[in-house]
Structure 1
């Protein structure tokens, strides 16, 4: 594997230092029964994760993907890692097989990722942060789908957002990176998973059919609607259904990119195959849509046992109860 290229403007960055007494642990499942959901909803992990989504949501309000934002050396290193992940796909073309969905070549691709994840993270992270790799690499490996079922869904998307969150927890990313983490890294991640979904004909994991927001994703609709707040060119929100608006602005706004992708992979009237999104088009403002989607995400994803039973908890995103200071 090629080393990470030297990227930077010549400024010497501070060397990161982990707390001397911190003990990293390999994340594991902790929500094993329905009754464990109460632990999750009061946990540090839940508060950290929902707070992280809300913080990045605020950072990108009203901003197109093309906005001139700071891209730090560490964001560039993470982007390089994701580019390597994307290029691995070229090595594993779909194989001829009788079943329509779930091409088994995906398993070989995922195995390649898992075989290289430690090395790629060692290249990306300063040596002072290498003790964190056994914990954070699990989130990265879980971000792209399940090898047994060859499916992908909001739980895998959640693993990637948790991976990004952990990168802040070890101070690899800083608050100044917020916009670039969404617009450079999460956007690159979306390109990877869409290619995987189409190339390997991946099954949606836990899809609710036409009554779900989307077969595969949720977060880009949240952050994508935040981008559209106070954007006069796509107002009222119902304009997101218009083909000329989609074609013109899909490269600048994640929400429209998602709509474009849905229209490419689904046939028939939009109101039939994407009823929830069709309903959203009637909401009068992007601010209301954004708030509504955050509430919907907590209800339809974060409070669902079939999703949360697969979530992994470690030292950075622990299942222990969130401390309440009185």
Structure 2
């Protein structure tokens, strides 16, 4: 059974979209896509519409903007970045252990156990008391954002969990529409730094990688948002320029797409066209706008329509599995 908690004081918080009703019942998220046939329910669900709409909204918000753009940084954004930095510092407390196998260092399990043990307290520190009843629901998305403790792997499903965590923060009004740019450039970008460090420190396996035929071993969404940043960017045009080392070195700090390419080149050896064939193919597309729209379609097809990924997705009151309706 789902555990429930209720907002009882009906506190109203200023926000750009409609507030949750008083006495909203939060639910501890659970898996709901149990079989292949459940995929049709997922693709017509409120969660699917909310999630894809959230990615599209932030995609539009950061279009043609470098990471250094002057954007509003609210107190809550700063608190979230600080929370992530605490998780980052924790990695130092759990150094890799000497072990026979090359991949999957077991110290990751100790780090993740620690994260789960302190997630409630960390969220209570950054969130106002009237939102604390939401924590049992939203903390699960945060805890599932960094990888699987059993397999010591990381992939697009974990990335998806973090984006769902951010989406939930908007739904409970902790984040506002004016935070859209900073949510990607400060919070999500900080998250990317952490998961890359985790991958390297604990030699994490890619979760469900399709080898050279996947976009990337670990991430997908930073390529979507990163390509939106590059729309109408004359210094990195035509798009094939993203393969050039001097362009990567010069602009990786400004554009997430190039940051991703730089990371791939650091961790993989050999010709780029061989180890990252999909990205190499993308370089031939004529505009960043076309790349951006193509990547969104590819994400829906290669990630959101795949049962091995969606079977792990968690659904609660904020991202429900119930069918989406226009009246909603």
| Pairing partner for 2:256 from 234, 254, 258 | 254
* 1:24-35 map, 5 Å: 24-35=26-37
In structure 2, C-alpha distance between the alignment counterparts of 1:131 and 1:235, rounded to whole Å: 48
Instruction: Give the drift of 1:324.
Output: 3.0
In the alignment, the residues of structure 2 paired with residue 20 and residue 234 of structure 1 have an alpha-carbon distance, to the nearest angstrom, of: 49
How far apart are 1:88 and its partner, in Å? 0.6
Corresponding residue number in structure 2 for 1:296: 298
Deviations 1:250-307 (A, max 9, x none): 0000000000000000000000000000000000000000000000000000000000
- Counterpart residue number, 1:148: 150
SS at match of 1:195: helix
Q: Which of 79, 91, 94 is residue 92 of structure 1 equivalent to? A: 94
2: CA distance, partners of 1:324 / 1:55: 18
- Normalising by the residue count of structure 2, what TM-score does the alignment of the two structures yield? 0.94
> Secondary structure in 2 aligned to 1:171?
coil
Report what 1:10 is aligned to: none
Q: Which residue of 1 aligns with 2:124?
A: 122
- Gaps of at least 5 residues in structure 1 are 1-13
Pairing of 1:1-326 with structure 2 (within 5 A): 19-325=21-327
Q: Structure 2: give runs of 5+ residues left out of the alignment.
A: 1-12
Q: Which residue of 1 aligns with 2:3?
A: none
CA distance in 2, matches of 1:75, 1:145: 23
Deviation at 1:38, TM superposition (A): 0.4
Q: Give the alignment's Cα RMSD to 1 decimal.
A: 1.4
SS at match of 1:24: strand
Q: Give the Å deviation of 1:19.
A: 3.0
Distance in 1, Cα, partners of 2:153 & 2:198: 10
Q: Contact (CA 8 Å) 2:14, 2:173: kept in 1 or not?
A: no
Name the CA distance, whole Å, in 1 between partners of 2:90 and 2:195.
13
Secondary structure of the residue aligned to 2:57 is helix
Using the TM superposition, give the Cα deviation of residue 21 of structure 1 relative to its aligned residue in structure 2, in angstroms: 1.9
State the shift of 1:50 in Å: 0.1
The structural deviation recorded for 1:227 is 0.1
